[in-house]
Amino acid sequence: MTLPPVDLRVGDCEELDRILAERIYDFNAKATGYYDGESFACVQRDESGAMIAGVSGYTWGGCCQVSYLWVAEEHRGHGLGRALLQAAERHARNQGCVIALLSSHDFQAPAFYRRLGYHEQASVRDHPVGHSNIIYSKRLTGTDDR
């Protein structure tokens, strides 16, 4: 059987990402028996309705994956990131999650996550080159996961 050449796409790949995520979720759910996957997002807006902070991720199989946490630069240091992350953790606990996972580059917010009880699990050097991507976890059940 001869296959056609690979179709490389660059740029706007949202539709393909969505399809791949669905297919991998289906495989993982069948393999584990966990069919409880759910996306979540929390947003903070200013008086005019503009987004100034947000968090998003998903829960699945007792785990919470925080994909993105962002606070506008002029609003950092006022507790918005903490409030959003705590809201995500509350949601995760309500969904039966026992652990939260996230990653942060070394130039982003590693000290912030450590202050909130996240523990470094791994560090990938040169992601991007000259920096590290740090993977963190936090037990949501009150026990330490170090």
Domains parsed from the chain with CATH numbers: 33-139 (3.40.630.30)
CA dihedral 24, 29, 32, 36 (to 10 degrees): 130
Q: What is the pLDDT of residue 143?
A: 52
pTM of the model: 0.89
Alpha carbon 46 to its chain's center: 23
Q: Which pLDDT score is estimated for 22? A: 96
The pLDDT tens digits for 87-137 are 999 999 999 999 999 999 999 999 999 999 999 999 999 999 999 999 999
Cα separation, 41 vs 39, in Å, equals 7
Calculate the CA 28 to chain-centre distance: 18
Nearest to 37 by CA among 25, 20, 53: 25
Query: Mean pLDDT over residues 49-71, rounded?
Result: 98
> How many Å apart are CA 140 and CA 146, to the nearest integer?
13
